[in-house]
Structure 1
Amino acid sequence: MSTPGHTTLITTPTFARHSADPWTLLAEGGAGPVRPREDGALPHDEVLRWMAGADALVAGMDAVTAEVMDAAPKLKVIAKHGVGTDTIDLVAGRDRGIPVVCAPGSNSRAVAEYTFGLVLDAARRISASHAAVTEGGWPKLFGPEPHGRTIGVVGFGRIGRLVAGYARAFGMRVLAHDPYVPDDAVTAAQAEPATLLAHADVVTLHLPPAAEPLLNAARLQAMKPGAILVNAARGDLVDETAPAAALHSGHLSAAALDAFTAEPLPESHVLRTAPRLTLTSHMAACTPQANRAMGLMVAEDVLRVLAGEPPHHPAG
């Protein structure tokens, strides 16, 4: 496959970070990758300036708006270096005849493994012990064993099903809820379709972005007293003041969050002072394997579109 004379603008620093293969694929395919900054996402004003010469765009968490598209008269394809395309104006892309591609499934195992790590950390207080020991303490922190407990998986796609499998390996009962997955498919995956908030010892979220928070104060109060909340999906799934209040009151025994409505987390954010809470920097997908797979998937689809072929992984 050859697309001579094309330029691919890379605005995310994580593309090809752990493997040169995606970069090489674009270069050898004639889609000359250009990354103006290696140390961080490209600022919006610089994006607009560089878009003028771009035939393809590989973006990370930066917003790809109609304004960005209109700054690129040669733009033929937009690739999300990731799975969720909520940062890209898909309607604007369709209106301009610019296909958008992404990398579904490329980070599913990474996120699922990390999610279960958060479950273990929240239950057994691993990071809390680490913090205490580094400050000179030597606490014996008690927490429940997952075995025999019930986990509620909200969102039963690729990641949710992998999390369910890890939970079963730990001897947990698995309840699942997903409005888009039939009950028989949930049962076939060895989980129980259920309204789960009142019954789960652990609730973990694996849904795409929501127009309004899925878990607000009322729904958190409907959770089983002493339950654990884990969110390694999207920050806007949770009204962040609600888990902070539930942790302070003791209604939640612990929580672990890897995604937030504002990132980086603001210095004065209410979650920073909540007890029994693990906060991480939206890094569930950060494995070398996922990074390589994600890069190769979007690079291949960029080349396909530039060569006049349909992409394997269109968004929307």
Structure 2
Amino acid sequence: MSNRIVITTDYLRPGDTVDTMLRDRGLEPVYLPAGGTRTDDEKLALFEGAVGAIAASEPVTRAMLAAASSLKVIARAGVGYDNVDADAAAEFGIRVCNTPGVNHHAVAELALALMLACARRLNTVLPAVAEGEWPREAGTELRGKSLGVIGYGPSGKAIAALGVALGMRVLVSTAHPDSEQSSGIEFADFDTTIRAADYLTLHSRAGKGDPIIDAASFAGMKSSAILINAARGSLVNEGALVQALKAGEIAGAGLDVLHREPMVEDNPLRTMSNVVITSHLAGQTLEARERAGVAAARAVIDVLDGKTPQGAVV
């Protein structure tokens, strides 16, 4: 039986904690980081001879899984697994696992950072200062504003708590309210939440249907509102967002995720002065990476040992 474990997550490296865990189990980590673009042949051969994989966010297609005859488990070192064709994995008997609960504080902190950057116009101030200027435009405070939170999983709960601590009115739209554990938080329906929000932050799972934030959503929001998305690019109709920003239906956006990543050169969001964009960094802290890598490695080991892994989604 093969003992090959393909690792495409670029921050996992030989000699780290994950590498040691796998080797101590008698496994052979093979590092094929997801940098640049793979050819079709390289994609089909990616998991050749591997029994397990710790995968980055690049697409793992049906064709790739069909070619992986010995693969038994794919673990995502993160929460999202929509890049993996889970239906095909189930058909081929391949377990798919994610690592929930490892990066929610990191995600919430970056969502807060995007809110602050938008409120204080840092995306225009910082470059101006670097060029020798000294802009003194007035920003706005978060205290007293309304924070709308869509989704109430770990990161949604974390950003809601931060909003309460900052003196914001916090409204949460979720199918799973938890009033007993949510002091200072109001639960509301989706439409009420987006209408009331000065800052609307998304913390939902990616769905298989249409985006949850579309042209109708923007039409219902305050013209002074800021959209924050540090969850999934697929949650937002990006074309509708561009039009809403151009038309002044909303005031700005802070985005850590996009439909196409890395950002394509002709994406109109790139040049908008009221948009702050970061490079899918929400879960990328040293602490979160360590937790995610260890959890993914543990899932791989558990599956190969015939145990039920934590975070199994298939």
TM-score range, shorter chain: over 0.9
Equivalent residue, structure 1, for 2:67: 71
User: What is the one-letter code of the residue matched to 1:206?
Assistant: H
Question: In structure 2, what is the Cα distance between the partners aligned to 1:84 and 1:120?
Answer: 25
* C-alpha displacement of 1:49: 2.1
- Tell me which moved more, 86-95 or 284-293: 86-95
What residue ranges of structure 2 are gaps of 5+ in the alignment?
Answer: none
Equivalent residue, structure 2, for 1:282: 280
What residue ranges of structure 1 are gaps of 5+ in the alignment?
Answer: none
CA 1:145–1:187: 2 relative to 1, 3 Å:
farther
Equivalent residue, structure 1, for 2:4: 7
TM-score between the two structures when normalised by the length of structure 1: 0.92
CA 1:5–1:72: 2 relative to 1, 3 Å:
closer
Offset from partner CA, 1:162-201 (integer Å, 9 cap, x none): 00111111110100001x213xx14631210112111111
User: What is the one-letter code of the residue matched to 1:112?
Assistant: A
Equivalent residue, structure 1, for 2:90: 94
**Alignment root-mean-square deviation, CA:** 1.9
1:167 aligned residue (153, 163, 166): 163
Equivalent residue, structure 2, for 1:229: 227
Equivalent residue, structure 2, for 1:199: 196
TM-score between the two structures when normalised by the length of structure 2: 0.92
Q: Any idea what SS the aligned residue of 1:86 has?
A: coil
Q: Does 1:83 align with 2:76?
A: no
1:130 aligned residue (126, 131, 140): 126
Q: Does 1:252 align with 2:245?
A: no
Question: In structure 2, what is the Cα distance between the partners aligned to 1:42 and 1:109?
Answer: 32
Number of equivalences: 309
* C-alpha displacement of 1:38: 7.9
Conserved in 2, the CA contact under 8 Å of 1:11 and 1:42?
no
Offset from partner CA, 1:70-90 (integer Å, 9 cap, x none): 212211111112211111111
Q: Does 1:32 align with 2:25?
A: no
Conserved in 1, the CA contact under 8 Å of 2:124 and 2:273?
no
Q: Any idea what SS the aligned residue of 1:55 has?
A: strand
* C-alpha displacement of 1:154: 0.7
2:205 aligned residue (205, 208, 226): 208
Conserved in 1, the CA contact under 8 Å of 2:46 and 2:64?
no
Q: Any idea what SS the aligned residue of 2:251 has?
A: strand
CA 1:244–1:137: 2 relative to 1, 3 Å:
farther
* C-alpha displacement of 1:233: 0.8
2:182 aligned residue (189, 192, 197): 189
* C-alpha displacement of 1:212: 1.1
1:106 aligned residue (102, 109, 134): 102
Equivalent residue, structure 1, for 2:56: 60
Over the matched positions of the two proteins, sequence identity in percent amounts to 38
Question: In structure 1, what is the Cα distance between the partners aligned to 2:79 and 2:210?
Answer: 20
Question: In structure 2, what is the Cα distance between the partners aligned to 1:85 and 1:39?
Answer: 18
Conserved in 2, the CA contact under 8 Å of 1:13 and 1:41?
no
User: What is the one-letter code of the residue matched to 1:87?
Assistant: N
Conserved in 1, the CA contact under 8 Å of 2:72 and 2:95?
yes
Conserved in 1, the CA contact under 8 Å of 2:7 and 2:31?
yes
Offset from partner CA, 1:218-277 (integer Å, 9 cap, x none): 210100121111111111111112232332333322211111111111111121232311
Equivalent residue, structure 2, for 1:243: 241
Question: In structure 1, what is the Cα distance between the partners aligned to 2:151 and 2:145?
Answer: 19
2:145 aligned residue (134, 149, 159): 149
Question: In structure 2, what is the Cα distance between the partners aligned to 1:229 and 1:14?
Answer: 29
